[in-house]
Amino acid sequence: MSYSHTLENFYTHKGNEVAFLAAKKIVELPGEVFNPFYVYGAEGLGKTHLLNAIDNELNKKSATLFLSVKEFEKRIDENASFDSPLIVDDIHTIRDDYRSRLLDVVEQAVADNVQVCFSANVAPQDISDFSPTLCSLIESGLICDLQPALQKDRVELIKKKAEDAGIILPDDLVETLAQVGSGSLTTIVNMINRLITFSSLGNLPSDIDTIKSMLEEFYPKKKVCPIPSVLGMLKSDDIWELVSTASGDLRGEYEKKIYAWELKGFNVSLLKDQKSRDETQLKQAYEDFVGRVRKLIELQRIFHDDLHEGDRLEVMRIESLLFDPRKVGEIERLLASSDKDDRNAKTYRKFSEFLFGACNREAWNTYHDEVLENLGTHNPCFVFGAKGTGKTFFLEAICDDLLSREKAVAFCNLANRDATLNVDDMERNDVLVLDDFHSIVEEESRMNNIMAVVEMCMQSNKQVFIGSVPWEEDLPDRIKSIMDKGLRLELGKPSSDVVVEYLHKHLPNEAAEIIERGLPEFVSFYDIDYYIQSSDQPEHSVVPLGLPGEDSPVGKEEPVVEVEAVSVDGVGVQLVLARGSVNIEDESKYVMPEGSAELIEEKF
């Protein structure tokens, strides 16, 4: 553990605010709320710092156990008791032999109101051999997902650290270092510490390129993904258009748009330079700016997909430009000059993991016996299925199967509105696989672009697989024309044989008893998951984090409220708290946070 890690020096931002507030509440009421506490996220986001901070605070009250996984396993072997607050870092590395015994430890600790805190790199349900019972027990406390800091937050941190050390860094260098950190606060702090060391020796150069070279070791050594995708931040359509408000204040709206783009980390000098122009020119300037941003996003995707393992300084140059709309041409030239064109190999799910039954057996047989044996003949091959019937899984398994047969496959999920596809992409591929094809009708220009690629593949006898929900509305003639030519595979709602196998797979110990009680009819695998989760859930109550919008009923017995997931200021967390009802006596301890239900990402 580290005594230098405290709650006071933990850098907070939107991506870790909930975890930080929960940690403060745990220190105040150990064992009473958020027990177990489970925090997960990528390397360098502050998981270990947060656990150390909790440990340091709890140690002021009583002894704690801050253990590595190996130390934890050793204590289990020794049948040691865990009657002090237990904190284990990197619990995802625990060996398989100890995972069932982990359940016993956590159950006993929760029963005895002994605080338990874990960190990991993934959510508990994504750790192999973590039983549903163990996951459910962890969910009965609090699970927090640490997200990377946004560009503006990283810039703020770098400036603060540099100022504290008496170092003045140029703004463009600060922007570059913030992009290199790609959300890892550890990387950012280590880079600043390196600069502090050189500064203390009187050897800090003034040349920016030299400073970048001096920090080269902090850059990723293989696949460079320096910038977290901005696509998730740009979901609202209004950011892309400049329109007058009800009061007709176009110039005021222009100023707001500048501020919005600046918050997202983009260089907005092109917009600022035009602020004095008339309204027609403002609209033209804004249209030109968003056009450049769209191009930047595409260049970010290209840079993300390619492996740049050559000249590190050249890579650093590209990274530093990817949020500057003025530099589109320069980035294109730099990328074009790169001789690296190795693509990141995506890992797909396999047919060996797919559950076959009456609902999908015919689709598999048709694919295996007809389509696979005559690729390019039955074209396109449609895979129809309602949401949650395994359509995406089936398409991914097709990709995996074809790759194992040495076919070059291009896979594109069209549910992502920013996913692009062009004819050039198919020159080096044998097969095209499109998921959520039904979404392309929302935008005519995008539909025409995708259809041009599909038609080119069909003319070249390159096999096309198209996944979609069943369409009931009238279809554009262009789509109708290929549907009339193609082959249809149908995936139905989960059949009883698949349901039984699914339950045995996910609940090996409880499946027989659940099946004996009788099962309802399920429309999708989502329904089965919900049924599993709700069949044996403890009662829950809600505890405050001190966020805005929380109400405080005081001095009365509150009914139990079950909260499976909430979204707090855009930060998705699972909030499932202590069992049983809670007698609310102190309004500072127990409140119900407002929040919308967290959307479940489609995995089927």
CATH code for the domain of 476: 3.40.50.300
pTM confidence score:
0.41
Q: What burial class does residue 221 get, using C-beta atoms within 10 Å of its C-beta: 0-12 exposed, 13-18 middle, 19+ buried?
A: exposed
Percent of the chain with pLDDT over 90: 21
Give the structural domain span for 461.
375-489
Three-class secondary structure of residue 86 per DSSP: strand
Tell whether 263 and 332 lie within a shared domain: yes
- Indicate the average pLDDT of the chain: 76
**Mean pLDDT lowest for which of 150-164, 193-207, 250-264?**
193-207
Task: Give the highest mean pLDDT range of 169-173, 178-182, 322-326, 402-406.
Answer: 402-406
CA distances from residue 598 to 170, 565, 595 in whole angstroms, order as listed: 40, 6, 9
DSSP 585: -
| 75 contact partners, CB below 8 Å, separation of at least 6 | 67, 82
Are residues 521 and 510 in contact, defined by beta-carbon separation less than 8 angstroms?
A: no
Q: What Rg value do the Cα atoms of the chain yield, rounded?
A: 27
Split at pLDDT 50, 70, 90, the class of 378 is confident
The Cα–Cα gap between 490 and 468 comes to 10
Cα separation, 421 vs 410, whole angstroms: 10
User: Does the structure show a pLDDT above 70 at 489?
Assistant: yes
95 and 156 in a single domain? The answer is no
**Domain shared by 199 and 278, yes or no:** no
Same domain, 251 and 326: yes
214 plus 275 within the same structural domain: no
For residue 201, what pLDDT band results from cuts at 50, 70 and 90?
Answer: low
Q: Which of 71-80, 267-276, 332-341 has the highest mean pLDDT?
A: 71-80
Looking at the fold, whether 67 and 120 belong to one and the same domain comes out as yes
Within a domain: 584: no
Taking the C-alpha atoms of residue 224 and residue 216, their distance in angstroms, rounded to an integer, is 13
Distance in angstroms (rounded) separating the CA atoms of residues 210 and 313 = 10
Q: Which pLDDT score is estimated for 269?
A: 85
Is pLDDT of 303 > 80? no
Q: How far is CA 346 from CA 135, 179, 305, 399, 603, in A?
A: 27, 24, 10, 10, 16
Select from 196, 218, 240 the last residue of a domain.
Answer: 218
Q: Return the pLDDT at 424.
A: 67
Q: What is the pLDDT of residue 574?
A: 44
Q: Which of 25-29, 99-103, 400-404 has the highest mean pLDDT?
A: 25-29
**Domain-embedded: residue 527:** no
pLDDT category of residue 593 using cuts at 50, 70 and 90: very low
Answer whether residue 266 is part of any domain. Answer: yes
- pLDDT greater than 70 at residue 161: yes
Structural domain contains residue 255? yes
Q: What is the CATH number of the domain that holds 185?
A: 1.10.8
Residues 136 and 182 placed together within one structural domain of the fold: no
Q: Do 457 and 428 fall into the same domain? A: yes
Classify residue 555: in a domain, yes or no. no
Number of domains in the chain: 4
Are 65 and 160 members of one domain?
no
Residue 265 and residue 183 share a domain: no
Residue 43 lies in a domain: yes
Q: Pick from 426, 457, 489: which residue ends a domain?
A: 489
100 and 198 together in one domain = no
CA angle 310/315/318 to nearest 5° reads 150
Segment 516-521 shows an average pLDDT of 82
Instruction: Give the pLDDT score at 597.
Output: 37
- Nearest CA to 375 among 421, 406, 354? 406
Burial of 261 per CB tally in 10 Å (0-12, 13-18, 19+): buried
Instruction: Confirm whether 253 is domain-assigned.
Output: yes
Which of 320, 339, 358 lies at the terminal end of a domain, its last residue? 339
Residue 354 has pLDDT above 70, yes or no: yes
Q: Does the pLDDT at position 101 exceed 70?
A: yes
For residue 343, the model assigns a pLDDT of: 38
Q: Looking at the predicted structure, is the pLDDT value of residue 569 above 50?
A: no
Residue 574 included in any domain: no
Same-domain pairing of 119 and 49:
yes
Who contacts 203 (Cβ-Cβ below 8 Å, separation ≥6)?
none
Closest alpha carbon to 2 in 87, 113, 105: 87
